[in-house]
Amino acid sequence: MRTMRSMINWRVLLSGAAGFVVMFGVGTALATFTWNGGPGNDQFYGTSDVDDASGHGGQDTVKGATQGDFLYGDDGQDTINGEEGWDYMEGGNAMDEIRAGEGHNEARAASADDVIYGTSSSSSNNTLRGGDDDDFIDARNSAADDAVDGGPGEDTCWIDNADQGSVSNCEHIKP
């Protein structure tokens, strides 16, 4: 007897309420998790699947996991960590800290004075983009060729030799 197994792609939506919300996702190989934090200080820790997470208001911690994640800080002073895999990360309307993590990532600041860190891995080529204000971008990882764009504002960019040809709009370049 032959058994047929259907593949179902799940999409799970998690929304935070007012106040402090902590979300831990447990993934399957076929799901996409969408999480929207509330107006308070929320924490999201990613799943083994693709995550689409937004902190919204408050001082949020938004952390990806092993798959390609889409991580947004939105309003409030947030901490965004890409972790492993290809990730897209974007800050919000307050001073955010964005850490690219392992993999080929894109990290973008929005408004306010943001801090963006590349990765320490020499095999991760990241795109790190500053926002409208005075940002600090640290792309030092010794071997990977990161694309660094400070954007508008008075930006400080820490780079290494591999990044030399991929830097723009950085008013203060530090080795």
pLDDT confidence of residue 32: 72
- pLDDT the model gives residue 135: 96
Which pLDDT value is given to residue 151?
95
Q: How many CA atoms lie within 13 A of 59 on its CB side?
A: 3
**Sign of the dihedral through C-alpha 93, 77, 57, 43:** positive
> Minimal CA–CA distance to 151: which of 123, 120, 127?
127
Contact by Cβ (8 Å): 45, 27: no
- Model pTM above 0.85: no
Please report the pLDDT score of residue 172 as a whole number: 96
Residue 141 is predicted with a pLDDT of 78
Q: What pLDDT shows up at residue 31?
A: 61
Helix, strand, or coil (residue 161): helix
Average confidence (pLDDT) per 10 residues, the chain, 175 residues? 34 47 48 80 85 88 88 92 90 92 89 88 82 93 82 93 85 91
148: which residues sit within 8 A by CB, 6+ positions away? Answer: 128, 129, 137, 139, 157, 159, 163, 166, 167, 168, 170
pLDDT attached to residue 169: 95
Q: CB neighbours (10 Å) of residue 127?
A: 18
